[in-house]
């Protein structure tokens, strides 16, 4: 065995920056809801139900997939999880009041949501 067994730096030392997460990492598949556990821990006190947590996870995952902090959140994506548009609406309002997101409402279209607390 050579000296290449040990790395010079600690791979778990510094968390990735937002740019590294959005640009450097491969895009997750649409069939997965992904987010760090630290983010779930921050969102948990704000959310009141599992459906609201699923809306927040879908929003986070969509940001990762599109590599943008501002995304559209269509009802059809949440309908696959059995979540209705009113649950989405209530959850987005709750997150907006907490300062986690900003919502740009568009008549007849999905709202544009900007996620402020990414990590």
CB 58 within 8 A of CB 78: yes
What predicted TM-score, i.e. pTM, was given to this entire model?
0.72
Report CA torsion sign: 64, 9, 5, 36.
negative
Question: pLDDT of 9-38, one tens digit each?
Answer: 555 556 666 656 555 656 666 677 778 888
* Domain residue limits, the chain: 14-22+30-115
Q: What is the pLDDT of residues 49-97, one digit of tens each?
A: 999 999 999 999 898 888 899 999 999 989 988 999 999 999 999 999 9
Q: Which CATH architecture has domain 14-22+30-115?
A: Orthogonal Bundle (1.10)
Q: Which of 36, 37, 71, 34 is nearest to 54 (CA)?
A: 34
């Amino acid at each position: 065995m050579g000296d290449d067994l040990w790395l010079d730096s600690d791979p778990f030392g510094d968390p990735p920056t937002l740019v590294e997460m959005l640009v450097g990492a491969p895009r997750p598949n649409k069939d997965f809801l992904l987010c760090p556990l630290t983010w779930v821990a921050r969102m948990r006190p704000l959310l009141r139900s599992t459906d609201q947590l699923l809306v927040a996870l879908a929003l986070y995952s969509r940001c990762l997939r599109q590599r943008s902090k501002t995304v559209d959140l269509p009802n059809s994506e949440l309908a696959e999880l059995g979540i209705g548009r009113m649950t989405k609406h209530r959850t987005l309002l709750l997150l907006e009041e907490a300062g986690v997101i900003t919502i740009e409402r568009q008549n007849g279209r999905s709202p544009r949501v900007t996620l402020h607390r990414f990590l």
